[in-house]
Every structure is written in C-alpha cells, then in structure tokens.
Amino acid sequence: MAARFGEGVNRRDRYFIAPFAYQDQGNNPQLAHSFLSVIRVVGDGQKPNLTPAFRRGRFGNRNFETFTISWLPHDFETNPHLRVFEGVGSLVVPQMNKCPISAGRNFRLDQTLKLAVNVKNAVGMWGPYEIKKEAFSLAVKRKQLLDGGTIGYRADDRLYHKGRVAINCFHAIAGPVEPNSDGGFFGTGFRMWGINATTRVLIEYTKNDGNKILFLEPVDTKRDLYGFVYAPERNSRGLYDPFPNAAAYHQ
C-alpha cells in the first residue's frame, strides 16, 4: 500500500482490504479456507485514534491498524482436522450431514498463514484494494458480530447461515451487510471453498449494485490473483500452482 501513497503527503485516513484463500492440490474442502484482512492507514500528521482490539503498527512515517476475518473452529490450531461432509449423500442433501456445530473463532493473519504453510498449501492473495470508509465500518461490524460469541462454526452451513446459527469461512467474509449470500451449484455445499469461494466473494462485492460502490478501484478476480506455492527445494519442477502468477515458498 505504501506505493499507492508515493512520496507526497496524505492528510486523510485511507482504507484497504486484502482477500486471501488457500487450498491443496486436490482442492479438498477440509484443507481449504477463505479469509481477508482489513487495514486503515492513518492520515499524515493526524493523531492516531486506534482501536484497542485491532493490531497496530507503523510503516515508514505512517501509522496503521488492521484486523483479519478468518473464521474457523476455535481449536483449529491444535486440532486442524476440519469436518465438512459426513454421511451418505451429505454433499447433495444438507440434512444428511452429521457434522456438529463448533464454537467459532477469528484467527489473526499470521496464525492463518501458518495453518496453510504447515500443510504446504497454495496460498492466494488479491489486492490490496482501496475501499470507502463505509466498507471499513461494515467490516468492523462483521468482526464484532463474529467475536460476540452468538454464532458458531460449521463448514457446511446450508441449514444454519440464514438464521445466524453457524456459518463457514465463506459466509464470514461474504455479504458486506448480511452473511447470507450463496454461491456454487449447491449453495455453499459444492466446490465453494478455497480460491473459488474468495473469488465469489469478490464478484459479489463488485458486481452487486448495492455493494460495488464500496470499492474505489476496479477488481479483476483473475488478473489480480497472486499466489505462493510450496517448493520442496530451489528450482523444483512440477509444483502445484493454480495461479496466473506466483512465487515459491519453502518451510
């Protein structure tokens, strides 16, 4: 984002989002995730009235605050075995899915990326995109809603998200006003995870007339996607790379 400001003075607060996704080579739903980070860069010379619950920092001569919406089961760091579809026909018929509802938790960006790296997943990032203050405020409200403890987590949330009983990571970041949007052939129950899910979120944000006014710049869900793929060694060949452009990482 520093490149957007250049060397000049920026007197007003500016706001950005950076959407993410990770997935494995088989695009298995239990190893896929969608999340986004939201950033406020404080105007130059302004007194930084920062939010205590957000992470804060300074880059160059600018103060910023940020938070991430990364909705997962509360114990996912120590028990990273996501239960998605259990039961015959559960992929097609949501009533057949026997997976329980878990207590949900928002993970920080560094925690989330560590989860991806631990299993050598491909990680994709879009943006960052500049957004209006109103969009930042909606994201804050979404974080507060999730952190309030009234909503659980369930990867297959087709029977639960409209009543705000439990939602998955897709619905945690989708729908700027209400987390009720759908996507995919079977709502959020079929292939709507990982890169597909975050792409769907961006399409909703930028194509829906009620939402697209929140963005201050155009979005190209294909060209804007940049990836990080696991390489067992330098100059490795045959890497799983689902991105138009990518860099390699090694653990």
Torsions phi, psi of 57, nearest 5?
A: -170, -175
Count of residues in the chain: 251
Residue with tokens 């996912």: 76
Q: Is the pTM of this model over 0.85?
A: yes
H/E stretch holding 115 reads helix 109-118
Structure tokens belonging to residue 72: 């997962």
Q: What is the pLDDT along the chain (251 residues), one digit of tens a residue?
A: 777 777 777 878 999 999 999 999 999 999 999 999 999 998 877 777 778 788 988 887 888 999 999 999 999 999 988 888 899 888 888 899 999 999 999 999 999 999 999 999 999 999 999 999 999 999 999 999 999 999 999 999 989 888 889 999 999 998 766 655 555 433 444 577 899 999 988 988 877 666 667 888 899 999 999 999 999 998 888 899 999 999 999 87
Bond prior to 128 in cis (omega within 30° of 0): yes
What pLDDT does residue 185 have?
39
What pLDDT does residue 177 have?
60
H/E stretch holding 111 reads helix 109-118
**Contact 143/78 with Cβ under 8 angstroms?**
no
**Contact 109/70 with Cβ under 8 angstroms?**
yes
Going from N- to C-terminal start, the domains of the chain cover 2-249
